């Protein structure tokens, strides 16, 4: 037996890199190390791994080229060379971000002809699973660019959109319809013309199963998304956050009814402007009805009640009275008000009855937070809140020893340093009113 054969036979866990010996790891171990480097975005070490061992090339390239972001300053010549079909590296790209957020000197969005000028590059990425669109004006895109976005990425299951303008609601619906494998839809600051329209497609024979649906702040017509999703014959949404401002919440209620027991976590941001659609039209249960969502584990309501002419806020308690999920373990309610006396318009006794209902046998944690703007001349004593006020308003809830009721206290310092997305996005200028139980 030769020296090489002898060494291989007696030491099966070594191999040669030229004249250097090293341990042979089981594929599962080496994959674990490479994946850890990928999670840390350590591309330099990943590149070294791909040059070290032929067996590590594929896994290393998978992480190195998994995500591509392009904007007007990208080196498109280099990208076209790197991801040319001959190299085969484009097949590793799973996440594609198109960032067109450039602004002109006058503050208006800058045109983005560079997208059409590099359409061949976009066509090379056919295995994309996450697509992020930022700052796109759909009406300004060329027909070829639109067609590429709508047809070139059939594997997309995660769609993110921010500060995009779709001009007409049907343009947004066309994009949403383009991804048959979609599992996650997230958006914020989407603009569409506020025109009367009806969804004309036929999805009654189709299914839509979403893990995430996030229609965030400053979307001019969230009803476009809710109407589209509600049109499916079978709809499930595990986690959803929807911000609703001025539109009639009937479409929101319809979506939640269609999703039914599939909803596990629900977060709603509701503006006081919806009051005009609810008051005088009968029970709010006809509009924001959560009785069909019997699988909810966590419920968060973010209520923007800053209007000075608020007189009827019965829809808040009516919404809570419709909750019947025995799986509900946590509920958080955030109320933003201009003045403390706005709170007298809230039917606290109904809220107390709803949250202490025996139907909510799994409820163990309630978080309440009332916030109002703090004027520069106000001292700490001005924004002080009677410590026993909330406890007096919710006696039944306080009597349930199995429930922990907490006041979510946020300091100005935390506000200035940045909080979780929840409070930071919704109430960045508010001073919480302190109430302890």
Q: Is the pLDDT of residue 10 over 60?
A: no
- Residue 349, pLDDT score: 94
- The pLDDT assigned to 359 comes to 92
Sequence-ordered strand ranges (E) for 71-178: 95-99, 130-134, 158-162
Torsion over CA: 342, 343, 349, 352 (sign): positive
What mean pLDDT is reported for the chain?
80
Query: For residue 38, what pLDDT band results from cuts at 50, 70 and 90?
Result: low
Nearest to 386 by CA among 351, 423, 340: 340
Q: How confident is the model at residue 131 (pLDDT cuts 50, 70, 90)?
A: very high
Kindly tell me if the per-residue pLDDT of 417 is higher than 60.
no
Please state, in angstroms and rounded to a whole number, the distance separating the CA atoms of residues 203 and 206: 5
Q: Tokens 């373990």 map to which residue?
A: 329
Q: What is the DSSP letter of 122?
A: H
pLDDT the model gives residue 436: 34
The residue ranking higher by pLDDT, 17 or 123, is: 123
Separation CA 192–CA 172 (nearest Å): 8
* Global pTM value: 0.82
pLDDT of the residue at 5: 36
Which is more confident, 379 or 48? 48
Q: What is the DSSP pairing of strand 234-244 with strand 265-271?
A: parallel
E strand or H helix that includes residue 300: strand 298-305
Around 9, how many Cα atoms within 13 Å sit in the side-chain half-sphere? 6
Q: How many CB atoms lie within 10 A of CB 106?
A: 6
Q: How confident is the model at residue 115 (pLDDT cuts 50, 70, 90)?
A: very high
Q: Is the pLDDT of residue 52 over 70?
A: yes
Confidence of residue 400 (pLDDT cuts 50, 70, 90): confident
Calculate mean pLDDT across residues 372-390. 58
- Does the pLDDT value for residue 267 go beyond 60? yes
| 253 pLDDT above the threshold of 80 | yes
CB 253 within 8 A of CB 286: yes
Task: Tell me the pLDDT band of 422, cut-offs 50, 70 and 90.
Answer: very low
Q: Of 16-30, 337-351, 365-379, where does the model show the most confidence?
A: 337-351
With a cut of 80, say whether residue 278 has pLDDT above it. no
Report helix, strand or coil for 35.
helix
The percentage of the chain sitting over the pLDDT mark of 70, rounded to a whole number, equals 75
Cβ atoms of 138 and 169 within 8 Å: the answer is no
pLDDT confidence of residue 235: 98
Q: pLDDT-derived band of residue 378, with 50, 70 and 90 as boundaries?
A: low
Residue 255 near residue 229, CB atoms below 8 Å:
yes
Higher pLDDT, 120 or 420: 120
pLDDT score of 298:
97
pLDDT of residue 280: 58
The answer on pLDDT for 237 being more than 70 is yes
Of 39-53, 83-97, 142-156, which gets the smallest average pLDDT? 39-53
- Residue 1 has what pLDDT? 36
């Amino acid at each position: 037996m030769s020296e090489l054969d002898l060494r291989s036979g007696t030491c099966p866990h070594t191999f040669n890199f030229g004249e250097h010996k090293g341990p042979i790891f089981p594929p599962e171990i080496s994959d674990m190390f490479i994946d850890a480097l990928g999670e840390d975005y350590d591309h330099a070490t990943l590149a070294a791994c791909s040059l070290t061992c032929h067996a590590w090339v594929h896994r290393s390239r998978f992480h190195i080229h998994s995500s591509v972001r392009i904007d007007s300053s990208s080196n498109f010549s280099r990208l076209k060379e790197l991801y040319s079909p001959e190299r085969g590296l484009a097949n590793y790209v799973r996440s594609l971000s198109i960032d067109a957020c450039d602004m002109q000197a006058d503050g208006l969005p800058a045109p983005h002809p560079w997208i059409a000028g590099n359409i061949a590059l976009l066509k090379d990425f056919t295995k994309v699973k996450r697509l992020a669109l930022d700052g796109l004006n759909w009406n300004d895109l060329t027909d070829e660019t639109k067609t590429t976005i709508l047809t070139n990425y059939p594997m997309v299951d995660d769609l993110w959109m921010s500060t995009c303008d779709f001009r007409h609601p049907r343009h947004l619906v066309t994009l949403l319809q383009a991804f048959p494998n979609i599992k996650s839809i997230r958006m914020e600051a989407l603009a569409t013309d506020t025109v009367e329209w009806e969804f004309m497609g036929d999805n009654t024979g189709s299914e839509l199963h979403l893990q995430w649906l996030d229609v965030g702040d400053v979307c001019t017509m969230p009803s476009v998304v809710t109407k589209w999703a509600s049109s499916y014959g079978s709809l499930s949404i595990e986690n959803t956050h929807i911000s609703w401002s001025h539109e009639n919440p009937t479409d929101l209620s319809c979506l939640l009814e269609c999703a039914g027991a599939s909803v596990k976590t629900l977060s709603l941001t509701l503006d006081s402007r919806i009051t005009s659609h609810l008051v005088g039209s009968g029970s709010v249960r006809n509009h924001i009805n959560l009785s069909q969502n019997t699988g909810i584990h966590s419920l968060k309501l973010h209520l923007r009640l800053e209007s000075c002419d608020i007189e009827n806020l019965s829809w808040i308690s009516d919404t809570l009275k419709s909750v019947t999920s025995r799986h509900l373990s946590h509920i958080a309610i955030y109320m933003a008000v201009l003045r403390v006396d706005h709170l007298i318009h809230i039917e606290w006794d109904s809220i107390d009855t709803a949250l202490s209902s025996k139907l909510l046998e799994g409820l163990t944690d309630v978080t309440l937070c009332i916030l109002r703007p703090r004027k520069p001349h106000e001292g700490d004593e001005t924004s002080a809140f009677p410590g026993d006020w909330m406890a007096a308003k919710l006696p039944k809830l306080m009597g349930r020893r199995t429930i922990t009721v907490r006041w979510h206290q946020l300091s100005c310092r935390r506000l200035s340093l940045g909080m979780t997305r929840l409070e930071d996005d919704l109430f960045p200028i508010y001073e919480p009113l302190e109430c302890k139980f």
